[in-house]
Amino acid sequence: QVQLVESGGGLVQPGGSLRLSCAASGSIFIFSTYAMGWYRQAPGKQRELVAGISSGGSTNYVDSVKGRFTISRDNAKNTVYLQMNSLKPEDTAVYYCHAWSPRTKSDYWGQGTQVTVSS
């Protein structure tokens, strides 16, 4: 059984910052071999990839968050982070953590954490 547990969401004013964390656990889950990503889904919209980080540490971002968000991982803690700065109302969404193994093609999702950017 693999579990991804997100934390760090909440209500923040425009221009503020939040850091999301996703802690992974599982008896057969080798965190360091998985690509990790943060997705988000706003009401009435499709889920989109916000940021991804490979097992080797390469990162990619959707254009709308480049320069504002930073994804990182700590393999010793089985945790991936999303630092979100200069938040905008359009960043409001449920943010989901995702793990994907290029080798086994298995993937897992967290339960999601709400981020609301509003004054």
> pLDDT, tens digit, for every residue of 29-72?
899 999 999 999 999 999 999 999 999 999 999 999 999 999 99
Question: Quick one: CA dihedral 85, 11, 113, 93, positive or negative?
Answer: negative
Sorting pLDDT into bands at 50, 70 and 90, what band is 28? confident
pLDDT of 18 reads 98
pLDDT of 77 reads 96
> pLDDT, tens digit, for every residue of 68-91?
999 999 999 999 999 999 999 999
Check whether 27 has a pLDDT greater than 90. Answer: no
Give the Cα separation of 118 and 13 in Å (integer): 5
